[in-house]
């Protein structure tokens, strides 16, 4: 018999040895009263502090344990996987060499790469377009782990992601190279072919926020 089976057997054998509840405990009224008392204390305390905050009092004391989003942002762990971004070389071109490893390993099949030849013989290929469908992504991080060029990362600290359409969840090449460049409501440029000069003309990629801080609006 396995260790887990022996533990379960011992628990079944010891079940009848539990202390019998007294009459006072069996009516459950004390437990109900205690629960109502605890709930009432928290309710009136939080209500008082919320009203006090409205007039500028006791601002240093939180009114509840609930995070008051969006005024208050959750403090995230350093290892949290957030929205993707593509890294760039010093000349502004993407580090991606279109090896297709991330597209191949992706279990959700949400990465779409169109490869092209790079004029530099030291660089194998370059992505003409690199698209990612966040509506399918499961945030497993396989694309980051498998990339041999450190070309894709999930460190933008952008995790407040919502959209009114499936197109709103689509990240095109420009959005991956410069997170936040697309305006709200602007349609994505799906599979838009880009040249090296197009990559160089894009604004510099903003540095990601420090890990563990709040997330900017997506």
User: What pTM does this model have?
Assistant: 0.69
Do residues 148 and 193 both lie within one domain?
Answer: yes
The lowest-confidence range among 29-33, 48-52, 121-125, 137-141 is 121-125
pLDDT over threshold 50, residue 206:
yes
- Residue 170 has a CB neighbour count (10 Å cut-off) of 21
Check residue 211 and give its pLDDT.
Answer: 61
Do residues 96 and 181 both lie within one domain?
Answer: yes
Residue 112: phi and psi, rounded to 5, are -130, 115
**DSSP symbols for 45-77:** HHHHHHHHHHTT-STTS-S-SS--TTTSPPPPP
Do residues 186 and 94 both lie within one domain?
Answer: yes
Do residues 60 and 89 both lie within one domain?
Answer: no
Check residue 38 and give its pLDDT.
Answer: 95
Within a domain: residue 76? Answer: no
Interatomic CA distance for residues 210 and 6, integer angstroms: 49
Do residues 57 and 90 both lie within one domain?
Answer: no
Do residues 142 and 192 both lie within one domain?
Answer: yes
State the total domains in the chain.
2
Q: Write the CA distances from 57 to 47, 62, 63, integer angstroms.
A: 13, 11, 11
Average pLDDT for residues 40-61, to the nearest whole number?
Answer: 91
Q: Scan for tokens 């197109």, then name that residue.
A: 167
Please give the residue range of the domain that contains residue 178.
85-201
> Per-residue pLDDT tens for 118-157?
888 888 899 999 999 999 999 999 999 999 999 999 988 8
> Per-residue pLDDT tens for 73-109?
778 887 889 999 999 999 899 999 999 999 999 999 9
Do residues 44 and 108 both lie within one domain?
Answer: no
Do residues 117 and 191 both lie within one domain?
Answer: yes
Check residue 218 and give its pLDDT.
Answer: 39
Within a domain: residue 217? Answer: no
Higher pLDDT, 51 or 216: 51
Do residues 192 and 113 both lie within one domain?
Answer: yes
Do residues 54 and 147 both lie within one domain?
Answer: no
Do residues 195 and 91 both lie within one domain?
Answer: yes
CATH number of domain containing 179: 3.30.70.3270
The lowest-confidence range among 3-17, 116-130, 134-148, 197-211 is 3-17
Interatomic CA distance for residues 153 and 170, integer angstroms: 17
Check residue 212 and give its pLDDT.
Answer: 56
Within a domain: residue 5? Answer: no
């Amino acid at each position: 018999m396995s260790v887990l089976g022996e533990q379960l057997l011992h628990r079944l054998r010891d079940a009848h040895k539990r202390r019998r509840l007294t009459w006072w405990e069996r009516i459950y009224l004390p437990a109900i009263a205690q629960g109502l008392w605890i709930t009432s204390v928290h309710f009136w305390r939080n209500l008082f502090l919320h009203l006090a905050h409205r007039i500028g009092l006791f601002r240093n004391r939180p009114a509840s344990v609930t995070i008051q989003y969006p005024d208050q942002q959750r403090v995230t762990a350093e290892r949290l996987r957030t929205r993707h971004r593509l890294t760039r070389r010093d000349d502004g071109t993407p580090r991606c060499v279109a090896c297709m490893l991330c597209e191949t390993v992706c279990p959700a099949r949400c990465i779409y790469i169109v490869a092209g030849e790079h004029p530099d013989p030291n660089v194998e290929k370059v992505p003409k377009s690199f698209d990612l469908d966040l509506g399918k992504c499961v945030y497993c991080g396989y694309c980051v782990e498998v990339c041999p060029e450190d070309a894709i990362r999930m460190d933008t600290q952008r995790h407040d992601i919502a959209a009114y359409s499936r197109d709103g969840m689509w990240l095109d090449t420009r959005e991956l190279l410069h997170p936040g460049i697309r305006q709200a409501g602007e349609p994505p440029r799906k599979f838009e072919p880009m040249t090296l000069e197009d990559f160089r003309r894009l604004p510099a990629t903003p540095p990601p926020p420090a890990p563990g801080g709040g997330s900017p609006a997506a």
